[in-house]
Structure 1
Amino acid sequence: MAGTTGDLGHRIALALLDRGAQVRALVRPGNTKPEVASLREQGTEIVEVNFNDPAALTRACAGAACVVSALSGLRNVIVDAQTHLLDAAVAAGVPRFIPSDFAIDFTKLLAGSNRNLDLRREFGRHLDRMPIQATSILNGMFMDLLTGQAPVVLFKLRRILYWGSADQPLDFTTIANTAEYTAAAALDPTTPRYLRVAGEVATVRDLQAAASAATGQPFRRLRAGGLWVLKLMIKITRRLVPAPKEVFPPWQGMQYLHNMFTGLPKLETLDNDRYPDIQWTKVREVLAAR
């Protein structure tokens, strides 16, 4: 598994261990992050490997039943490093690969509407050409972001900020649930090319009701304008603060919200019931526990 020092990746590794799996974590040479020591203490095999060394990476993948990627970054990671990892998995004869997708359904988005998701779609085209069984987990927006990082639930103002329609269904899933589901999928040899899950599908009106119930304070809706307004804001913000080397600059999050409010990447035919032992967390629970 790659990307185990990140929040999602670390949780996936722990979820795999909870399910009795043998986990091998591929980390960069000299990585001293506390997650590495934590996983080692819990029985994870830690393998330091240079992702630019094909032979070493192939040896690191040898014997695996599934390679899971939770890598996070820009082109040098999502396209380049993942391609190295994929090529090594194929060379080692690994039967299955789970890429670091974990997002809204970017397969239905127009090119150029989201930089980070464009990179995932580009890698996906390469993945589909390779002789390996691939499964992408699409989970909507991480519900955890609603507690502050995503400017939607404005706790101090007691408002739900949105653009477009207050009735557009939106997909949300916690990081923990996504990790649990990914672990279950990694141990399931019958997974299809895509699995789509959402801990809760909620409109802006639903978010308003959830925030009011979670805090005991009445929340109201705050419509900032149509989607064209948000698109204009993205353009201006990207020009003023381009931050091309940042993975999540302000305009990137705005792109993600714009994608969601258009309804284009709405997940269809959810696969939540595939692993019935998973208990899905709701928006109200996340907001109440913030």
Structure 2
Amino acid sequence: MTEPQASTPRRPSAEKAVIVLAGATGDLGLRIARHLAQRGATVRALVRPGNASPAVAALRELGATIIDADFNSVTALTKACAGADCVVSALSGLREVIVETQKRLLDAAVAAQVPRFIPSDYCIDYTKLPAGSNRNLDLRREFNQRLDQAPIAATSVLNGMFTDLLTGQAPVVLFGLKRVVYWGDADQPLDFTTIENTAEFTAAAALDPGTPRYLRVAGEVASIRDVQRAASAASGQPFGLLWAGSVGVLGALSKLTKALMPESDDVFPPWQGMQYLHNMFTGLPKLAPLDNARYPEIRWTSVQDVLATRPLGE
């Protein structure tokens, strides 16, 4: 296991800070809202009109101000952003959302003279990847090119893969077979951060006026061998390794899967996950240096702790 590197700690100033949060009803967004509220911030949650989901009720319980936002109107968004200290996006989607909706939100933040903007990145370091290697990350790259041209301070939070995905959604830890599958090198360092840690760090960054353009964090930097040991320790049963081929094989498989699947508006089709794993196993988007120590009050959750949450027998 590789220990996360440290950067100079900075403590956020939350007194009376007003944070506008888009995507607040999603899993990550709701967690960001909770951590902002815990830090004393005033949260304005932008919610699409008519949204009556349990997440809206949860936001109200946190003390957030619910704003029925017309995401197609820069004028309406500008009014919602007035007087805010930072706009945080946790929106999820494809081009219509990541590029177009975020662009209108950015234009509104600039028009309202909001000093800072945090886009919906929360991923591996796409700045180190070639264009065309990952559809979803290409959209983030495209939006951030627009963001860098805007007269506003921006900070992207990069956190690697959500560790939570290892409990089932990411086809890496095969619990039934007691194997950890991988492509390429089993010793390649990989970045993992839980959704909860990502939310907590993002909330701290939103309240920190001195953040740089990029903040990189990893709850744990672990190789596949480390994940194998974590799975064995978490389950109390020995896990083995399963080599599925070279990194090139995974890249070719992702392209073939994409070509064979019908077109859809699914944000995370199977081939998208394969692209993400391919990116990680190449080592290109490895996060460095890490900013884990910037907010020393955050306690990082390990891969083993996450795997231990999966009930035995599943």
Q: Same fold (TM over 0.5)?
A: yes
Are 1:205 and 2:225 an aligned pair? Answer: yes
1:58 aligns with 2:78: yes
- CA distance in structure 2 between the aligned counterparts of 1:143 and 1:105, rounded to whole angstroms: 16
User: Alpha-carbon deviation of 1:42?
Assistant: 2.1
Aligned equivalent of 2:178, options 154, 158, 164: 158
In structure 2, the partner of 1:6 is 26
Which residue number in structure 2 is paired with residue 90 of structure 1? 110
CA distance in 2, matches of 1:204, 1:159: 11
For structure 2, the residue ranges without an aligned partner over 5 or more in a row are 1-20
Q: Aligned-pair RMSD on alpha carbons?
A: 0.7
Q: Indicate which of 55, 67, 87 corresponds to 2:87.
A: 67
Per-residue CA distance 1:8-67 (angstroms, 9 max, x = gap): 011000110011110000111111111111111221000001111111110001010000
Deviation digits for residues 207-261 of structure 1 (CA, Å, limit 9, x no counterpart): 0100011111111100000012111211211111144311000000000000000
| Superposition misfits of 4+ residues, deviation over 3 angstroms | none
Partner of 2:61: 41
Answer yes or no: is the 8 Å Cα contact 1:243–1:249 preserved in 2. Answer: no
Give the Cα–Cα distance (whole angstroms) in 1 for the partners of residues 257 and 180 of structure 2.
Answer: 21
Alignment of 1:101 with 2:121, yes or no, is yes
- Hey, what's the Cα distance between the residues in 2 that align with 1:194 and 1:42? 28
Q: Which residue of 2 aligns with 1:30?
A: 50
In the other structure, the counterpart of 1:267 is: 287
Match of residue 36, structure 2, among 2, 16, 41: 16
Deviates more, 1:47-56 or 1:128-137: 47-56
Name the counterpart of 2:12. none
Give TM-score scaled by structure 2 length. 0.91
Q: 1:170 & 1:238 partners in 2: Cα distance?
A: 24
Query: Residue 237 of structure 1 aligns with which residue?
Result: 257
Bigger relative CO (Cα 8 Å, ≥ 6 apart): 2
- Aligned 8 A contact 1:66 1:97 in 2: yes
Match of 2:131 among 107, 111, 136: 111
1:176 aligns with 2:187: no
In the alignment, is the contact (CA less than 8 A) between 1:168 and 1:204 conserved in 2? yes
Q: Percent identity?
A: 72
Of 79, 90, 107, 2:99 maps to: 79
1:220 to 240, 243, 256: 240
Q: Distance in 2 between matches of 1:216 and 1:38?
A: 36
3-state SS of 2:117 partner:
strand
The Cα shift of 1:69 comes to 0.1
Query: CA contact under 8 A between 1:172 and 1:201: conserved in structure 2?
Result: yes
Asked whether the 8 Å contact 1:212–1:219 carries over to 2, the reply is yes
